[in-house]
Amino acid sequence: MADIPKDLRYTEDHEYVKATKDPNVVAVGITDYAQGELGDIVYLELPAVGTKFKKHDVFGTIEAVKAVSELFSPLTGEVVEVNSRLEKEPQLVNSAPYEDGWMVKLKLSNAAERDALMDAGAYGAHIGQ
Protein backbone atom coordinates (compact mmCIF):
# COMPACT_ATOMS: atom_id res chain seq x y z
CA MET A 1 0.00 0.00 0.00
CA ALA A 2 1.19 3.50 -0.84
CA ASP A 3 2.02 5.96 1.92
CA ILE A 4 -0.48 8.86 1.86
CA PRO A 5 0.35 11.45 4.55
CA LYS A 6 -2.78 13.06 5.98
CA ASP A 7 -1.31 16.59 6.11
CA LEU A 8 -0.71 16.91 2.35
CA ARG A 9 -2.95 17.78 -0.61
CA TYR A 10 -2.96 15.77 -3.85
CA THR A 11 -3.74 16.03 -7.56
CA GLU A 12 -5.28 13.47 -9.90
CA ASP A 13 -1.88 13.44 -11.67
CA HIS A 14 -0.19 12.16 -8.47
CA GLU A 15 1.62 15.33 -7.43
CA TYR A 16 1.49 16.42 -3.80
CA VAL A 17 1.56 19.83 -2.14
CA LYS A 18 3.25 20.15 1.25
CA ALA A 19 3.09 23.22 3.48
CA THR A 20 6.36 24.96 4.42
CA LYS A 21 7.17 27.46 7.17
CA ASP A 22 6.03 30.23 4.79
CA PRO A 23 2.23 29.99 4.34
CA ASN A 24 2.59 31.28 0.75
CA VAL A 25 5.18 28.67 -0.28
CA VAL A 26 4.59 24.95 -0.81
CA ALA A 27 6.86 22.03 -1.67
CA VAL A 28 5.77 19.96 -4.68
CA GLY A 29 6.71 16.41 -5.58
CA ILE A 30 5.19 13.14 -6.71
CA THR A 31 3.41 10.73 -4.42
CA ASP A 32 4.68 7.46 -3.07
CA TYR A 33 2.12 5.73 -5.29
CA ALA A 34 3.45 7.51 -8.40
CA GLN A 35 7.09 6.70 -7.71
CA GLY A 36 6.12 3.07 -7.13
CA GLU A 37 4.30 2.94 -10.47
CA LEU A 38 7.23 4.55 -12.30
CA GLY A 39 9.94 2.35 -10.79
CA ASP A 40 13.55 3.43 -10.41
CA ILE A 41 13.92 7.15 -11.13
CA VAL A 42 17.05 7.91 -13.17
CA TYR A 43 16.67 11.56 -14.22
CA LEU A 44 14.55 14.66 -13.62
CA GLU A 45 14.24 17.80 -15.69
CA LEU A 46 13.10 20.61 -13.41
CA PRO A 47 12.47 24.33 -14.05
CA ALA A 48 14.71 27.24 -13.10
CA VAL A 49 14.04 29.44 -10.09
CA GLY A 50 11.82 32.33 -11.17
CA THR A 51 9.79 30.28 -13.66
CA LYS A 52 6.05 30.88 -13.35
CA PHE A 53 3.37 28.26 -13.91
CA LYS A 54 -0.39 28.18 -14.03
CA LYS A 55 -2.24 25.32 -12.39
CA HIS A 56 -1.77 22.14 -14.46
CA ASP A 57 1.07 23.53 -16.63
CA VAL A 58 3.88 21.05 -17.29
CA PHE A 59 6.77 22.03 -15.00
CA GLY A 60 9.21 19.27 -15.86
CA THR A 61 9.75 15.63 -16.71
CA ILE A 62 10.66 12.57 -14.72
CA GLU A 63 12.49 9.66 -16.29
CA ALA A 64 12.37 6.18 -14.86
CA VAL A 65 13.81 2.93 -16.16
CA LYS A 66 10.49 2.05 -17.78
CA ALA A 67 8.84 5.41 -18.61
CA VAL A 68 9.18 9.16 -19.05
CA SER A 69 6.35 11.24 -17.59
CA GLU A 70 5.46 14.91 -17.48
CA LEU A 71 5.15 16.69 -14.16
CA PHE A 72 2.17 19.03 -13.74
CA SER A 73 2.09 22.07 -11.49
CA PRO A 74 -0.64 21.49 -8.90
CA LEU A 75 -1.08 25.23 -8.30
CA THR A 76 -0.40 28.61 -9.90
CA GLY A 77 2.82 30.18 -8.72
CA GLU A 78 6.51 30.94 -9.14
CA VAL A 79 9.38 28.55 -8.49
CA VAL A 80 11.39 29.92 -5.56
CA GLU A 81 13.59 26.87 -4.97
CA VAL A 82 14.58 23.71 -6.85
CA ASN A 83 15.82 20.59 -5.08
CA SER A 84 19.35 20.52 -6.48
CA ARG A 85 20.12 17.20 -4.74
CA LEU A 86 17.93 15.47 -7.34
CA GLU A 87 20.48 16.24 -10.09
CA LYS A 88 22.94 13.78 -8.55
CA GLU A 89 20.48 11.71 -6.48
CA PRO A 90 17.24 11.25 -8.48
CA GLN A 91 16.57 8.06 -6.50
CA LEU A 92 15.58 10.26 -3.53
CA VAL A 93 12.18 10.48 -5.24
CA ASN A 94 11.91 6.69 -4.75
CA SER A 95 13.33 6.44 -1.25
CA ALA A 96 11.80 9.55 0.37
CA PRO A 97 9.21 11.19 -1.93
CA TYR A 98 7.71 13.34 0.85
CA GLU A 99 10.97 14.35 2.54
CA ASP A 100 14.24 14.59 0.57
CA GLY A 101 12.54 13.81 -2.76
CA TRP A 102 10.53 17.04 -3.12
CA MET A 103 11.13 18.72 -6.48
CA VAL A 104 10.31 22.44 -6.37
CA LYS A 105 8.98 25.03 -3.97
CA LEU A 106 6.29 27.30 -5.37
CA LYS A 107 5.30 30.74 -4.12
CA LEU A 108 1.55 30.65 -4.59
CA SER A 109 -0.30 33.22 -6.67
CA ASN A 110 -3.69 32.01 -5.45
CA ALA A 111 -3.62 30.13 -2.15
CA ALA A 112 -7.34 29.32 -2.51
CA GLU A 113 -6.47 26.86 -5.32
CA ARG A 114 -5.04 24.56 -2.65
CA ASP A 115 -8.54 23.99 -1.26
CA ALA A 116 -9.59 22.36 -4.55
CA LEU A 117 -6.92 19.64 -4.25
CA MET A 118 -7.74 16.22 -2.82
CA ASP A 119 -7.15 15.39 0.82
CA ALA A 120 -5.55 12.07 1.82
CA GLY A 121 -8.87 10.22 1.95
CA ALA A 122 -9.94 11.37 -1.52
CA TYR A 123 -6.51 10.59 -2.99
CA GLY A 124 -6.58 7.12 -1.44
CA ALA A 125 -9.95 6.50 -3.07
CA HIS A 126 -8.58 7.90 -6.37
CA ILE A 127 -5.83 5.26 -6.43
CA GLY A 128 -8.13 2.50 -5.20
CA GLN A 129 -6.68 2.23 -1.74
pLDDT of amino acid 66: 84
Flag whether 124 is in a domain. Answer: no
Q: Is the pTM of this model over 0.85?
A: yes
Q: Rounded to an integer, what distance in angstroms lies between the CA atom of residue 124 and that of residue 100?
A: 22
Residue type, 75: L
Q: What is the CATH number of the domain that holds 56?
A: 2.40.50.100
Flag whether 117 is in a domain. Answer: no
Neighbour order of strands in the sheet with 58-64: 41-45, 58-64, 68-72
pLDDT band at 59 (very low <50, low <70, confident <90, very high): very high
**Model confidence at 103: pLDDT above 90:** yes
Residues shown for the chain = 129
Flag whether 31 is in a domain. Answer: yes
Range of the domain at 18: 9-112
Q: Rounded to an integer, what distance in angstroms lies between the CA atom of residue 78 and that of residue 109?
A: 8
pLDDT digits (tens, 9 = 90+) for 17-38: 999 999 999 999 999 999 999 9
Flag whether 106 is in a domain. Answer: yes
Number of domains in the chain: 1
